[in-house]
Amino acid sequence: MKKPTYTPILIIIFLFTVLSANCQSIDMKLSLNDVIIIAKKQSSDAIMAKHRFRNNYWEFQTYKASRKPSLALDGTIPNFNRSISQITQNDGTSIFKEIYTSSYSAGLSLNQNVGLTGGQIFMRSDLQRLDLLGDSIITTYASSPISIGFQQPIFGFNQFKWNKKIQPIKYSEAQKRFLEDVEQLSIKATELFFDMLIAQINFSMANINQANNDTMYKIAKGRYNYGKIAEDELLQMELQLLRSNTQVKQADLDLENATFLLKSFLAIKEKGSLELIPPTELFDYIVDSQKAIEEAKKNSSSTQNYERRLLEAKSTVEKAKRENGFNANLYTTYGLTQTASEISNAYNNPIDRQQVIFGFQVPILDWGQRKGKVKMAESNKELVFANVAQEKLDFGQRIYIQVMQFNMQKQQLEIAAKADTVGQKRYYVTKQRYLIGKIGITDLNIALNEKDAATRNYYSEMLNYWRSYYQLRKLTLYDFKYNMPLIFNFDDVK
């Protein structure tokens, strides 16, 4: 009897499992706060902000490492050489002879940059071996157990001194800019949230208006048949119904597009419906403009940016002056050395050795190059100083305007909410009056359009309110709700 096979069944089960996983559908309801949390966690903008900060973090770590001692091992294993060289014989005559040599070397060095002077202290230990190859192998060793030296540029540009001033400010600026990027995420998430929410509201209103217009058209047909209304009013009502049908289709397309953009931004891959919950929370506090400006000056990356640019401009001027004038370098070493035919003897009774090198360079004729470079650096410094002074004034004014806009936006939103309520009530009253024949279709359409416009304006003002709220947080890096600066654990993104 032939043994049955279960392969087709297993394949079907496997395919069903895979397709079920790929077609996973999850229906979601999200608030504005939910959308912002998801955006900060998994959006591509959040990932890019983290990587930008990581670059700055490792740049700062590289700077800190440059201020610490460095230990390095170097060597050559081997260096083989075949050449023809001039050899002096025992009788004093010289001949050319083919020579084979093999050399090996290893060295261990410890270096420390001196930030105060811009020089470098070093300590080194070396061992070399040379093999002269021929009829017999002659081996010699040369050791330098220890060498201590100091290298110092004189009158040169001290990059270490300026890095000590600039790099901590630059890293602090990067931290604050990361916080601003996070708040910019909130702004973008808020805008996409309300784009979809307004599209969602428009779709809902379009469907309600379509149902109402369909009902009103049927009532109008009955009235026309009884001779209570003229044909032009019936045609106008039919035209209104046709428009509402078109508006439903357009609203559906707008909602689908807005949903796609929001899901794409949030990196939501699951299929399924997405419904947004309109925010209901409003803040009761009034922001003091002077406090906002003070907090912005303390917390914003702009303050660090101004200070860094001023220091960089000053360092550029000093560099132009130092590098184009009289330059000198001092190099000194002291150490021990010895040679022997055996490695153990290469460290016995070493003799001392010293080296002092003083080099200099003096420009005699450069046709004004040095002066031109210095003048350009000084001119650039003055330009940077002027730009920074103006940007500081503009920054304070921008904070003031943003505070005024936020404080005013709450009142604007309350007025829009009242207008929306009035518009809804007016349309209901107008509709009832139309049904009993007190007014015509024109008045009804006006009330309908004003109702829809009031609703859209309400949600538009709500968008302005929340966008203004997060823009103020971004500019000041301060949470006025809890009366404290924005904080973040930067270790989470290193």
In a domain, 90, yes or no: yes
How far is C-alpha 481 from the geometric centre of its chain's CA atoms? 26
In a domain, 33, yes or no: yes
Give every CB contact of residue 206 below 8 A, 6+ residues apart in sequence: 244, 247, 248, 250, 251, 252
Residues 167 and 43 in one domain: yes
Residues 390 and 442 in one domain: yes
> Dihedral of the CA atoms 84, 89, 93, 95 (nearest 10)?
-20
In a domain, 381, yes or no: yes
**Domain C-terminal end among 307, 335, 362:** 362
Can you tell me the distance from the alpha carbon of 446 to that of 426, in angstroms, rounded to the nearest whole number? 10
Is the pLDDT at 427 greater than 70, yes or no? yes
Name the one residue in this structure whose structure tokens are 């190059």.
369
Residues 202 and 259 in one domain: yes
pLDDT on residue 132: 83
Please give the tally of structural domains in the chain: 2
> Is residue 435 very low, low, confident or very high in pLDDT (cuts 50, 70, 90)?
confident
**CATH code of residue 173:** 1.20.1600.10
Can you tell me the distance from the alpha carbon of 310 to that of 169, in angstroms, rounded to the nearest whole number? 11
Residues 62 and 209 in one domain: yes
C-alpha atoms less than 13 angstroms from C-alpha of 447 in its C-beta half-sphere: 19
In a domain, 337, yes or no: yes
Mean pLDDT of the chain: 86
**Domain C-terminal end among 308, 336, 362:** 362
Residues 268 and 201 in one domain: yes
> Is residue 1 very low, low, confident or very high in pLDDT (cuts 50, 70, 90)?
very low
Residues 268 and 343 in one domain: no
Q: Which structure tokens are listed for 258?
A: 């807005």
Calculate helix-pair angle for 159-225, 32-42, nearest 10 degrees. Answer: 140
- Residue 76 is classified by DSSP as E
> Is residue 259 very low, low, confident or very high in pLDDT (cuts 50, 70, 90)?
very high
| Backbone dihedral angles phi then psi of residue 109, each to the nearest 5 degrees | -125, 145
**Average pLDDT of span 196-217:** 92
Is the pLDDT at 12 greater than 60, yes or no? no
Q: 370 vs 169, which has greater pLDDT?
A: 169
In a domain, 106, yes or no: yes
The CB-based long-range contact list for 289-292 (8 Å cut-off, 24+ gap) reads: 289/399, 289/400, 289/403, 289/404, 292/399, 292/400, 292/402, 292/403, 292/472, 292/475, 292/476, 292/478, 292/480
Can you tell me the distance from the alpha carbon of 142 to that of 54, in angstroms, rounded to the nearest whole number? 46
Is the pLDDT at 283 greater than 90, yes or no? no
| Ranges 21-30, 142-151, 153-162, 412-421: which has the least confidence | 21-30
Is the pLDDT at 24 greater than 70, yes or no? no
Residues 78 and 109 in one domain: yes
Residues 375 and 262 in one domain: yes
List pLDDT tens digits, range 37-64.
Answer: 999 999 999 999 999 999 999 999 999 9
Q: Which of 152, 149, 150, 70 is nearest to 335 (CA)?
A: 149
Residues 223 and 336 in one domain: no
The strand ranges marked E within 136-283 are 138-154, 274-276
Can you tell me the distance from the alpha carbon of 96 to that of 83, in angstroms, rounded to the nearest whole number? 10
In a domain, 140, yes or no: yes
In a domain, 11, yes or no: no
**Domain C-terminal end among 362, 386, 421:** 362
> Is residue 25 very low, low, confident or very high in pLDDT (cuts 50, 70, 90)?
low
Can you tell me the distance from the alpha carbon of 81 to that of 77, in angstroms, rounded to the nearest whole number? 13
In a domain, 2, yes or no: no
Residues 63 and 110 in one domain: no
Residues 145 and 266 in one domain: no
Domain that holds residue 143: 72-114+119-157+327-362
Can you tell me the distance from the alpha carbon of 198 to that of 191, in angstroms, rounded to the nearest whole number? 10
Residues 200 and 340 in one domain: no
